[in-house]
Structure 1
Amino acid sequence: MANLKSQIKRNKQNEKRRARNSQEKSSIRTISKKVAKAIDAKDNPDTVKDLYQSFVKTIDKAAGAGIVHKKTAARKKSRLAKRVNAILKSQS
């Protein structure tokens, strides 16, 4: 338990930030799964493309805020982009 006033404030700030970061990571995982599910179901290519673009936007914002590392974001985008491009080529 913190005794100093500044440490009590710091603990409150850390708790708020932890909750916000956790929520953002959860949304990244959720949208990533949505894209993967759309690819596996061989959905409409436009739908897959839109989902992928929203995934990229979400993960780039998180990487910019330091919630996920920039190279982690790049790796996840690259892996998903390979699958999206493969499905777009096969359905075109």
Structure 2
Amino acid sequence: MANIKSAQKRILVTERNRLQNRFYKSSVRTLTKMFLKSLETYKTSQNPDDKVKAQKLLGSVYSLIDKGSKRNVFHKNTAARKKSKLAAYLKAV
């Protein structure tokens, strides 16, 4: 453990940021998997309700990616790349 007060504070700040980064990254991965699963469901069933569900999930993934980008969890180009890739998946269906 650090002895200097500023070093102790940096340890606390770093831990807080690590947990925040982990939350955003894992949430984006989870929602992306849910989105891809709903796309697969739509591919097999061709039910319009499934496509609407996938579009709503895409919106929530976009929202979380944008919030993470705003808080410097994701670089802006990384966020744009992730969003573009997800949109391409939806367009291909």
- The two structures have a TM-score, normalised by structure 1, of 0.88
Instruction: Count residues in correspondence.
Output: 87
- Work out the CA distance in 2 between the residues paired with 1:37 and 1:45: 11
The offset of 1:16, in angstroms, is 1.2
Of the three residues 34, 49, 52, the one matched with 2:58 is 52
Task: Indicate the percent of aligned positions where both proteins have the same amino acid.
Answer: 39
Instruction: Note if 1:65 corresponds to 2:63.
Output: no
Structure 2: gaps (5+ residues): none
Mapping for residues 1-92 of structure 1, pairs under 5 Å: 1-42=1-42, 44-87=50-93
- The two structures have a TM-score, normalised by structure 2, of 0.87
Structure 1: gaps (5+ residues): 88-92
The offset of 1:77, in angstroms, is 0.7
Give the RMSD, CA atoms, in angstroms. Answer: 1.1
